[in-house]
């Protein structure tokens, strides 16, 4: 497990680049801008929803370990980027969304796999959440909001998925996982082959 975490951290660190601007919403303050950040960046929402569904689909077996792991990874990484801000490229987020979405679609995931994906999601989302336009003394406020927002998305999606027990509801969860994986696969390919296809 530790080796997996170190490998994931190294891969993501290698994928870090300059901070790209996510335009802040004026007038709502630094904290709320941070809070809304995971919801307003589609790649973040995709990966958080996938991990939330995965945790909820196999709750409580998986959620006991994966949910605290996600929260810990998110918190630690947000604390680290407060000191050294940067931004992650999109592909690690999409790769995690793809694998987590596939795991949800297949409805098969062990605790170890789900926890590794939750850890990866926490680290990746946090690494890509450096606030733009916030005064230096308020960066921690924005990052606190982002941490809370991301944790809320995973908790709510996971809690909702855990409550769905009828056969057609379980199928709906698997379909949602499939849709997330399909979306991630399309954009991941686009990232890998940015100029291969002519524009419509």
CB of 5 to other proteins, least distance (A): 26
CB of 34 to other proteins, least distance (A): 17
Which residue, 67 or 88, is less far from other proteins as judged by CB?
A: 88
Which residue, 137 or 168, is less far from other proteins as judged by CB?
A: 168
CB of 49 to other proteins, least distance (A): 10
- 183: number of Cβ within 10 Å: 18
Separation between Cα atoms, residue 57 and residue 109, nearest integer Å: 9
Which residue, 136 or 167, is less far from other proteins as judged by CB?
A: 167
| C-alpha distances out from residue 123 to 6, 8, 93, 120, 160, Å | 11, 9, 10, 5, 23
Which residue, 115 or 183, is less far from other proteins as judged by CB?
A: 183
CB of 72 to other proteins, least distance (A): 26
CB of 164 to other proteins, least distance (A): 10
Q: Buried b / exposed e across 7-41, counting CB within 10 Å, b at 16+?
A: ebbeebeebbeebeebebeeeebbbbbbbbbbeeb
Q: What is the binding site for other proteins (CB under 8 A)?
A: 40, 42-43, 46, 90, 94, 102, 105, 166-169, 171-172, 174-175, 177-179, 181-190, 192-194, 196-200
Which residue, 75 or 170, is less far from other proteins as judged by CB?
A: 170
Taking Cα atoms as reference points, which of 198, 143, 195, 152 lies closest to residue 49? 152
Separation between Cα atoms, residue 90 and residue 61, nearest integer Å: 30
| Chain centre to alpha carbon of residue 172 | 21
């Amino acid at each position: 497990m530790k080796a997996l975490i170190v490998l994931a951290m190294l891969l993501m660190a290698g994928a870090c680049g300059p901070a790209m601007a996510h335009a802040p919403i004026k007038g709502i303050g630094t904290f709320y801008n941070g809070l809304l950040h995971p919801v307003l960046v589609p790649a973040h929402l995709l990966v958080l929803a996938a991990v939330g569904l995965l945790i909820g689909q196999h709750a409580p077996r998986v959620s006991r370990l994966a949910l605290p792991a996600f929260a810990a990874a998110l918190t630690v990484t947000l604390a680290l980027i407060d000191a050294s801000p940067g931004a992650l490229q999109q592909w690690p987020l999409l790769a995690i969304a793809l694998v987590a979405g596939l795991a949800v679609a297949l409805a098969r995931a062990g605790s170890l796999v789900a926890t590794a994906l939750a850890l990866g999601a926490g680290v990746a989302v946090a690494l890509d959440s450096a606030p733009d336009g916030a005064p230096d003394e308020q960066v921690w406020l924005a990052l606190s909001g982002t941490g809370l927002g991301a944790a809320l998305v995973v908790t709510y999606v996971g809690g909702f998925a855990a409550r769905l027990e009828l056969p057609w509801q379980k199928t709906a969860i698997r379909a949602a996982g499939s849709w997330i994986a399909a979306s991630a696969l399309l954009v991941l390919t686009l990232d890998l082959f940015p100029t291969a296809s002519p524009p419509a």
